[in-house]
């Protein structure tokens, strides 16, 4: 049985620690394709909180001119108010992303017991929730509707230098996603590096005093 699947935003992508420097107004004329490195048969592995509590593995199984079909497998220790246990949550999701109309967005996603292996990059599902991760122009202060719970994403820094377990990245763009009441205490800070995509995501929940959840890119293979 296939059921609708919307991954918690902090499990969709990645990364580690950042060293911030003042950002300029323009991200040196970079465009969305510079931040979407997906190639068919490539593999991305992300760790949560230095890999102690879970991971996500993303497989790019089909691509077209502007669409990408990705199978995500995640395993994360169950937590309640950040109290981690040995109980594991596992899930498999098949999603389709696209670059169109100056946006990078997820247009379709389902969870099931098994991945959808046939090519569905041409899917046309207007009933699914569309999540917009990036929108041009990639300039400081540009904002857009994220696509769920009234969320708003904004480019809050550009031309950053960010250090991760994979190395030091330059020309990194920071995107902050926030939500109105009653979700106004939850927001996400994501970091995108040219040629690598999202390298770091921090989930912050103001209702919980413990440390934020940080996802970081561990490895890329193709």
Which CATH number belongs to the domain containing residue 173 in this structure? 2.40.360
Give the pLDDT confidence score for residue 212 in this predicted structure.
80
pLDDT at position 13, please?
33
Q: How many angstroms separate the CA atoms of 21 and 17, rounded?
A: 13
Checking if the pLDDT of 185 tops 80, the result is yes
Kindly indicate the confidence band of residue 137, based on its pLDDT and cuts at 50, 70 and 90. Answer: very high
Q: Which of 93-97, 107-111, 218-222 comes out lowest in average pLDDT? A: 218-222
Is residue 122 left, alpha or beta, with left meaning phi > 0 and alpha meaning psi from -120 to 50? alpha
Question: Where residue 25 falls among pLDDT bands split at 50, 70, 90?
Answer: low
Q: Is residue 143 scored above 90 in pLDDT? A: yes
**pLDDT of res. 50:** 57
Q: For 61-102, what is each residue's pLDDT tens digit? A: 999 999 999 999 988 765 554 555 567 778 999 999 999 999
Judged against a pLDDT cut of 50, whether residue 12 lies above it is answered with no
Average pLDDT, the chain: 82
Please count the structural domains in the chain.
1
Q: With a cut of 70, say whether residue 206 has pLDDT above it.
A: yes
- Strand blocks (E) in the chain: 3-4, 43-48, 54-63, 67-80, 83-100, 103-111, 131-135, 143-145, 152-164, 167-178, 186-193, 197-205, 213-221
pTM: 0.82
Q: Give mean pLDDT, residues 129-139.
A: 95
- Structural domain boundaries enclosing 175: 3-220
């Amino acid at each position: 049985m296939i059921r609708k699947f919307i991954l918690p935003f902090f499990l969709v992508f990645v990364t580690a620690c950042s060293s911030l420097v003042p950002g300029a107004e323009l991200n040196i004329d970079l465009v969305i394709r510079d931040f979407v490195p997906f190639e068919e048969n490539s593999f991305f592995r992300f760790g949560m909180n230095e890999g102690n509590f879970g991971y996500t593995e993303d497989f790019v199984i089909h691509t077209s001119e502007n669409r990408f079909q990705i199978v995500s497998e995640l395993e994360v220790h169950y937590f309640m108010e950040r109290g981690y246990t040995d109980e594991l949550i596992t899930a498999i999701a098949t999603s389709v992303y696209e670059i169109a109309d100056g946006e990078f967005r997820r247009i379709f996603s389902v969870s099931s017991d098994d991945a959808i292996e046939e090519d569905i990059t041409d899917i046309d599902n207007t009933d699914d929730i569309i999540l917009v991760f990036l929108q041009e122009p990639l300039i400081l202060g540009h904002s857009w509707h994220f696509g769920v719970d009234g969320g708003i994403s904004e480019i809050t820094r550009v031309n950053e230098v960010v250090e991760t377990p994979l190395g030091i990245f330059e020309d990194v763009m920071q995107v902050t996603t926030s939500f109105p009441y009653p979700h106004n205490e939850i927001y996400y800070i994501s970091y995108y590096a040219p040629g690598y995509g999202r390298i770091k995501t921090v989930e912050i929940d103001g209702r919980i005093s413990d440390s934020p959840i940080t996802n970081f890119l561990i490895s890329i293979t193709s």
